[in-house]
Structure 1
Amino acid sequence: MPRSEPSKADQELIRHARVQGHTVGASQLERWRRRGLLPQPTRIYRGRHGTASVYPDGTDDLVCALARHSVPGRRSDDLALLAFFDGADVPETALKLAIARTYFNSRLRHENVIAQAMARVPEGWESALGKEYEAAEAEARTDLARGGRAVRQMRINLRRLPDLAGAPQREVDARLLGVLVGLNRLRLPEDDHEFMADLSAALAFDCAQDNDDVLAVWEYAAVSHSSQMARYEETSPEERFGLLLETSREELCSLREEVRTAVDRMWHRATWGLEPEADFSRPSMARNSAGMLMEWMSARQVQPGRVSMADRYVLSLGHLKLCCLAAERSAGGAWQHPAGEGRAGFIARTAGPRHAT
Structure 2
Amino acid sequence: MPRSEPSKADQELIHHARAQGYAVSASQLERWRRRGLLPQPTRVYRGRHGTASVYPDGTSDLVCALARHSAPGRRSDDLALLAFFDGADVPEAALKLAIARAYFNSRHRHENVVAQAAACVPEGWESVLGKEYETAEAEARTELAKGGRAVRQMRINLRRLPDLAGAPQREVDERLVGVLVGLNRLRLPEDDHEFMADLSAALAFDCAQDDDDVFAVWEYAAISHSSQMARYEETSPEERFDLLLGMSREDLCDLRKEVRTAVDQMWHRATWGLEPEADLSRPWMARHSACMLMEWMSARQVQLGKVSLADRYFLSLGHLELCCLAAERSAGEIWQHPVGEGRAGFIARTTGLRHGT
The alignment's TM-score, normalised by the length of structure 1, stands at: 0.98
SS in structure 2 opposite 1:44?
Answer: strand
CA–CA separation in structure 1 for the residues paired with 2:300 and 2:127? 31
Paired amino acid for 1:220? Y
RMSD: 0.8
Tell me how far apart the structure 2 counterparts of residues 221 and 301 of structure 1 sit (CA, whole Å).
21
Query: Are 1:21 and 2:21 matched, yes or no?
Result: yes
Unaligned 5+ runs, structure 1 = none
Match of 2:162, SS state, is coil
SS at match of 1:340: coil
Q: In the alignment, which residue of structure 2 is the partner of 1:239? A: 239
After TM superposition, the structure 1 = structure 2 runs for residues 38-53 of structure 1, keeping only pairs within 5 Å, are 38-53=38-53
**Which of 123-132 and 56-65 deviates more?**
123-132
User: Structure 1 CA distance, aligned partners of 2:325 and 2:228?
Assistant: 18
Q: Does 1:203 align with 2:195?
A: no
Query: Separation in 1 of the partners of 2:172 and 2:143?
Result: 15
CA contact (8 A) 1:127 1:133 kept: no
The Cα offsets for residues 151-206 of structure 1, whole Å up to 9 and x where unpaired, read as 00000000000000010000100100000000000000000000000000000000
SS of residue in 2 equivalent to 1:163 = helix
The residue matched to 2:186 in structure 1 has which SS?
A: coil
Q: Residues 117-196 of structure 1: matches in 2 within 5 Å?
A: 117-196=117-196
Secondary structure of 1:167 counterpart: coil
Cα offset for 1:46?
Answer: 1.1
The farther-off stretch of 339-348 and 155-164 is: 339-348
Matching of residues 88-127 of structure 1 within 5 Å: 88-127=88-127
**Partner deviation per Cα, 1:279-336 (whole Å, 9 max, x = no partner):** 0100010000000000000111222221000000000000000000000000000000
**Which amino acid letter does the alignment assign opposite residue 64 of structure 1?**
C
- The within-5 A match list for 1:317-356 is 317-352=317-352
Specify the code of the residue in structure 2 equivalent to 1:213.
Answer: D
1:297 matched to 2:335? The reply is no
Q: Which moved more, 1:300-309 or 1:101-110?
A: 300-309
1:59 aligns with: 59
**Structure 1: how far apart are the matches of 2:303 and 2:252?**
19
Q: Following the alignment from structure 2 to structure 1, what is the Cα–Cα distance between the partners of residues 44 and 206? A: 63
Q: CA deviation at 1:123?
A: 2.5
Tell me if the contact between 1:81 and 1:95 (Cα under 8 Å) persists in the aligned partners. yes
Structure 2 CA distance for aligned equivalents of residues 303 and 350 of structure 1: 44
For 1:123 and 1:248, the matched residues in 2 are separated by 48
Matches of 1:28 and 1:230 in 2, distance apart?
A: 46
> 1:182 corresponds to which letter in structure 2?
G
Runs of 4 or more, structure 1, over 6 Å off, are none
How far has the Cα of 1:127 moved from its partner?
4.9
Shift of 1:17: 0.1
Q: Distance in 2 between matches of 1:90 and 1:47?
A: 31
- Asked whether the 8 Å contact 1:14–1:24 carries over to 2, the reply is yes
CA apart distance, 1:29: 0.2
Unaligned runs of 5+ in 2: none
What one-letter code is carried by the residue in structure 2 that aligns with 1:235? Answer: T
Match of 2:307 in 1: 307
Residue 267 of structure 1 is matched in structure 2 by: 267
